[in-house]
Structure 1
């Protein structure tokens, strides 16, 4: 495949992944959304279908990695050239920012209604009015639409959760023969991986929101910081390294385990 194919496939596929995945988070979170309070089950299946859709779209062009952790695992396994890794990762990050911006466009009215609601403003500031940026909490009231965050903030546990969950994802991809042609996910592999993502969300998503994808977390977090959202609060940059480092470590461990146990 050409560099243009990789760039196009990963940018578009990751944008669709984040549009649909972030979209279900917005639907469940924001005031004036018909799906508000639909719950964790809706979010996990929404993300699974987001993977399914983004991967089907991008698979013919780039092999549908859509995730720097998957790209790293495939490079360690040997199905992806190391020289292509920077292009994959850069395209995925760009696509994630675009997808998050599209979520904002789609739910623009709901974001405004939610973030200007007096109850939300009081929770952010302790009084009616604009957020005091110097006193704003680490995570704003809609940050969860864009990126992940821990229920209990413990670096060791949060890292372990992301490492374990991502290792399962990448090992599942490598052992299902999804990269047999060296180009990433095949047609049946896309569906199987989507179900793996749903299972991970249901089983391991509770502690941190299961980023399992550095681009999925970092790209939308950047979008959250840049978008003109009123009273949005902070982007929690103090936590942002964990959903990047954890998945990459988990992918490296999965790739190494695959080469030791399955080759």
Structure 2
């Protein structure tokens, strides 16, 4: 009989890529399934809020699932920011991003298979990006007709910047860190807040893999090249804007908060840091089985 321990992968990068793949798969499976249910039922089995909540539950579930292996990035823009902060090696950026992209693509395929009959009934068998019976928006994000290309770019920069600005503080021991076990639901609530307040313009992708993976799937599943050419080739916006927004949000956190927190090597900050550390110990443990706890993020 084969022991389970013998099946453990020895290659650390492969293990991490598998975790990012599966985590992004879970995230998209929740979110796109909710979008399919709401769209094909003509909002009789859920509304706009249902999709926002489903994506947030997907974030929380994926983080609990994978945080012990990679810290649960689930987003190329997040991985890029951690590389900028030197918390993740730059050599991990491309493998993580490709794994996240593949996870999103496969999840879209599963959603399409599960909701195939509903999609065909709703669309009359015509898979399109435009019109009252369009179904492409079940998978990828698309802009509202009133918004310009430049404004939609700004929308994605601001949304992703807010994501990074709000999550980077969660594991900061010099500030007021969240208990490690509560970080996933806290990040989920942050994502829910962004979705509820910043998704009307163009869907609130804030994640290149979340948008490009499903878009590539719709390209191959019958929607055709229109998923890339529609709205004046808008597809590049959720691909390019989130990484820029994530880096800007990271820089804002660094210059406005991180650089000004108590420094353990600065005599003037010793008393302040001691007080903060004592308060932290009362709220959350800093070690587990003799190892430092690692903060995890979406």
Contact 1:77–1:258 (8 Å) recurs in 2: no
Residues matched between the structures, number: 240
Distance 1:114 1:140 in 2: 7
Q: Residue 235 in 1 paired to residue 230 in 2? A: no
Who is 1:93 aligned against?
A: 101
Q: Which of 127, 151, 156 is the matching residue for 1:157?
A: 151
Q: Secondary structure at the match of 2:88?
A: coil
Partner of residue 127, structure 1? none
Deviation at 1:79, TM superposition (A): 1.4
Structure scoring higher RCO (CA < 8 A, sep ≥ 6) equals 1
Return the alpha-carbon distance in structure 1 between the equivalents of residues 120 and 80 of structure 2.
38
1:8–1:61 CA contact under 8 A, matched in 2: no
Aligned to 1:204: 198
For residues 86 and 242 of structure 2, the distance between their equivalents in structure 1, rounded to whole angstroms, comes to 19
1: CA distance between counterparts of 2:108 and 2:186? 25
> Offset at 1:198?
0.5
Q: CA deviation at 1:137?
A: 5.0
Shift in Å, 1:38: 2.3
- Residue deviations 1:21-70, cap 9 Å, x none? 11110010014x8x646221111111111111122112122211000111
Q: Which has the larger radius of gyration?
A: 2
Superposed displacement of residue 233, structure 1? 8.2
Shift of the alpha carbon at 1:76? 1.4
TM-score (normalised: structure 2): 0.74
3-state DSSP of counterpart to 1:190: helix
The residue that corresponds to 2:123 in the other structure is 115
Q: What CA distance in whole angstroms lies between the structure 2 residues aligned with 1:139 and 1:88? A: 37
How many Å apart are 1:186 and its aligned residue? 4.7
- The change in CA–CA distance for 1:64 and 1:94 in structure 2 (over 3 A counts) is same
1:185-222: CA deviation from partner (whole Å, max 9, x where unpaired): 95322111100010001111111110000000000000
Relative to structure 1, is the Cα distance of residues 213 and 179 closer, same or farther in structure 2, using a 3 angstrom cutoff?
A: farther
Partners in 2 of 1:143 and 1:177 — Cα distance? 37
Matched, 1:216 2:210: yes
Kept in 2, the 8 Å contact 1:214–1:243? The answer is yes
Aligned mates of 1:73, 1:205 — CA distance in 2: 22
Would you say 1:144 and 2:144 are equivalent positions?
Answer: no
CA contact (8 A) 1:74 1:174 kept: no
Instruction: Give the superposition deviation at 1:92.
Output: 0.4
Aligned residue number for residue 65 of structure 1: 73
- Contact 1:79/1:179, CA 8 A, preserved across alignment: no
1:80-102 CA deviation, whole Å, 9 max, x = no partner?
A: 11111111111100111011111
Considering only aligned residues, what root-mean-square deviation do their CA atoms show, in Å? 2.7
Contact 1:139 1:233 in 2 (8 A): no
4+ residue segments displaced more than 6 Å: none
Alignment match of 1:41 (pick from 44, 49, 53)? 49
Structure 1 unaligned blocks of 5 or more? 125-130
| Residue of structure 1 in register with 2:85 after alignment | 77
TM-score, normalised to structure 1, is 0.83
